Amino acid sequence: MVTLIPEASVICARVSHLRAKLPAYQSFSLHMDRMRICLLLFIVVLTVIGEDVCTNEDECANVANTDRYDRFAHYRDLITRGLRNNVDCAAGSCHCYDDQIDRNLRPFEEGIVKDMLPYGGRHVLYQIVDHKLYRSANCTFEARCSGVEHFLLKIVDQLPDVEFFLNDHDYPFISTYAEPKMVVFSFSTVVMLMGATGKDELTKFFLQTKDFLDIMYPAWSFWKGGPAIAPYPTGIGRWDLLRTTLSKEAAMWPWEMKKSKGFFRGSRTNKNRDPLILLSRRRPDLVRAEYTKNQAWKSSQDTLGMKAVKELPFEYNCRFKYLFNSAGVAASFRLRHLFLCRSLVFHIGDEWQEFFYSQLKPWVHYIPVKDDLSNVEELLQFARENDELVKQIADRGYNFIWDHLRMEDVECYWKTLLTRYATLLRFKVVKNPELMHVVGRYTKQKLFARHTAMSQLR
């Protein structure tokens, strides 16, 4: 005997009550309709019961503790599937980002001819000839070129002759649809991600269609430059030093001592950040988000009617469990620093990319947030109610950045990128006499050692 669910019983009873008030011929017709309705409900009940039957012995052990109507079950499922599909880079591997390099170079696999290089444009021309580095004098931001050259000078003895143009501005330049096809290196580019809903949410990083063909290189700010704000008046720079500083700060603020609320402090370089600021004013118990000044700031209207707050060093973020990253005018340099607080990173949007982003997986290393932040409040509630689960995400994010975004990884990326890029050149690189010879501190030390050795031989 099968007992109908309460809703089904009510429906059948109401149909019976109505049948009693009708003439015989209508009553008979309604009786048949009642039979059909009840039969349909019976089938539905059997289907629902069948779906609830546990067939796997290991899974059955946990059924009693699982609420199948839990509003956060979807997020936990995304984490489970993300971990199942994730393959981390091998420890100490120099080739963690080779797939990203392959994707960047694939549009040019038929070869790069001289006409594809933007001579006469605003980009900085670099050449490596006979293991010497040269560049044009038109670098718009000297600190940015210096930050790039730090790594190039360390590997110049290992590189073939090569020639490329480097974009030292924030925006990518080379549209996918531009003709003729041009070749430029940019630190950040825009990737449109396909299949970003439903069960495809976990695989969206692997289904990319690029609006830009710029080849990604590691940003100058790993060594020099970057945003010049009060705590870092000459730019954030020196990733090697900040790694150590942030790791020590994270140890001072273990997970159980962090505040269980979201935190963001930055300038209004992108209005997409506004919903987070407004949520903070409405739900200060949930998130603390405030705007600082930037170069475009004129009045409190530029900070949504509130006074701009002072800028803080990266270490301050480590006091909070949930940290927000959002693109500004391009990909934000903030992201890699947030992970080293060993806090849970909420990454807003995913179109703007740097070279290492593709190895960071949503729900494995961070929590993805919709561009319009329409799901941010629910995600914060999910994090609060699943503390141990999201702590594991925070730990994985920290470990990935600590293990696979070292200075030697940046150096390795440059070496692999330029070595593979050089194989695509369909012209001989001939030294341009108008270029300046770049001799940095690293090279000067080598030259001094060589001069000393030669003097001793005399």
Tell me the catalytic residues.
170
The closest alpha carbon to 358, from 335, 334, 379, 389, belongs to: 335
- Cβ within 8 Å of residue 191, ≥6 positions away: 208, 209, 210, 211, 350, 351, 352, 353
Angle between helix axes 441-457 and 142-155 (nearest 10 degrees) is 40
**Structure-block tokens of residue 3:** 């007992």
| Cα distances (Å, whole numbers) of residue 36 to 25, 28, 158, 230 | 17, 13, 80, 74
Identity at 306, one-letter amino acid code:
M
Residue 158: in which H helix or E strand, if any?
A: none
- C-alpha to C-alpha distance for 380 and 385, rounded to whole angstroms: 9
In this structure, are residues 263 and 322 in contact, taking their beta carbons and an 8 Å threshold? Answer: yes
The DSSP-derived string for 224-284 is: S-S--BTTBTT-S--HHHHHHHHHHHHHHS-GGGSEEEEEEEEE-SSGGGHHHHHHHHH-T
Cis peptide before 233 (omega within 30 of 0): no
- C-alpha to C-alpha distance for 401 and 347, rounded to whole angstroms: 15
Q: How many CB atoms sit inside 10 A of residue 66's CB? A: 11
Identity at 286, one-letter amino acid code:
L
Burial of 429 (C-beta count, 10 Å sphere; 0-12/13-18/19+): middle
The DSSP-derived string for 332-346 is: -THHHHHHTTT-EEE
